[in-house]
Structure 1
Amino acid sequence: MIDDTGKVLTQREEPRLATAAAEALPGGGVVLSAPGREPLTVAPPEPGATTAVRIFGQKVELVSAGGEARDWLGELLGREVFLAHLDDPAVRRPIDDPPYTSPGETVTLADRYPLLLTTLASLDSLNALIARGDDAAQGPLPMNRFRPSVVVSGTGPWAEDDWNRLAIGEVVLRVAKGCGRCVVTTTDQATGVRGREPLRTLAAHRRLDGKLVFGQNLVPLTTGTIRVGDPVEVLD
């Protein structure tokens, strides 16, 4: 989603986006929904004029998803915004995050890395720390605060800090770095209301290399499909 200047908008700037959902449809469309709003089905736009959008300083050409999506999101947020579509799925941008990346590693429209891994044991450990703090009433936090793509069970707390390469089902992945967390993690994903946790507790207990870390950024080394229930093997 972009504003009228071509700037990408996320929950960092618009916490109310937490109350909206986008359900993917076969063929590339999405259904937008939010409490108190009629759902809107948005089909993939026809190829047309593109808008240059910068994501972490890198330019990507995107196509507007049309006026209905613009109006629906504009009414939700009270400002002019546009839903944008990546017209060419082969388009990739380099993951520019030295020294944690290697030449040829790419991403599409995600902030920085293609995948984010978290573990249930680490969330339990974090919630135990929150429960002992001054803002205990803000916990326990659900996993959706951290918006992971892969959630692993059966580990010890923070075991993922020591992983380098994983095999999940048929896919081999490289663990690039710990994920430094931002203000989005303080946003209740049901209401869009912000608090102080988990950043306050992460600052006290999980400050690594100057970042407040929860989860690990992943880069796929092979292609394939990851499925719920796939075994996870730590290769090194």
Structure 2
Amino acid sequence: MGSLQEGLRQFGTAVQIYLWSAQDSVDLHVLDRALDDKGNRQLLLRPNRPLQAGHEYELRASRGQENVFYYFEQPPASTAKRKGLTRYRWKVATAIDWQAPIWKGSPQVLKKVYENNYDYYNIVLFSCPVRDSSTYLIKITVRHQATGRQWCAYQTPANRIPWKSQVWVGESSCGGNVRFELESDYSVVFEAIDSAGNRASAGSAPLAFQAPKKVECCLKVRSQPSKLKKR
């Protein structure tokens, strides 16, 4: 057994990944490997030939003769696991999508948040105004201006108001992708990739921004001496 993050190191080399249906099996090719500042790995995969329209495929993996199906199993509480299903299943659309995502405007910094009280936040929120007929990912490439260090991550933009068409970069108590050095200078490049593999960059020039400023925040509670009741 092993975690999905451990398996990602071997996907496309020692571990073969493929899409499987009752009538078809298609190998997947690794197009991109992203590693963020927190050590999280992500892979961008593509079938090595067209899929059959209308068929439902599930993601599977093998290492030689060993079936490493467990990488993609449903959580223990899920009914799907008892049925032997993986958590990654898709049905292929009947129409071929040749249209790349359309950027309706340039990404902008919307908000910077630093908080280190009950919860921790050190994040920057960006607008990503993209239009596409299918679901899509945003590839985020962040560069530290002084050192030249660079990290990449894929993220699904929020799809509900008031965060629709927005992505965040940084870290919080719940996780993250970049450890910002406070008030340091960075740049970021955005690229949209839809479910058919069509790609579109947000622009030719990186967007420069500064990491959040540290805000001192504390809550002082004064202890009150207990008063003795007079008898």
Q: Which has the higher helix share?
A: 1
- Which is greater in Rg? 2
Query: Hey, which of these two has a bigger chunk of strand by percent?
Result: 2
Common fold by TM > 0.5: no
- Per the shorter chain, which TM-score range? under 0.3
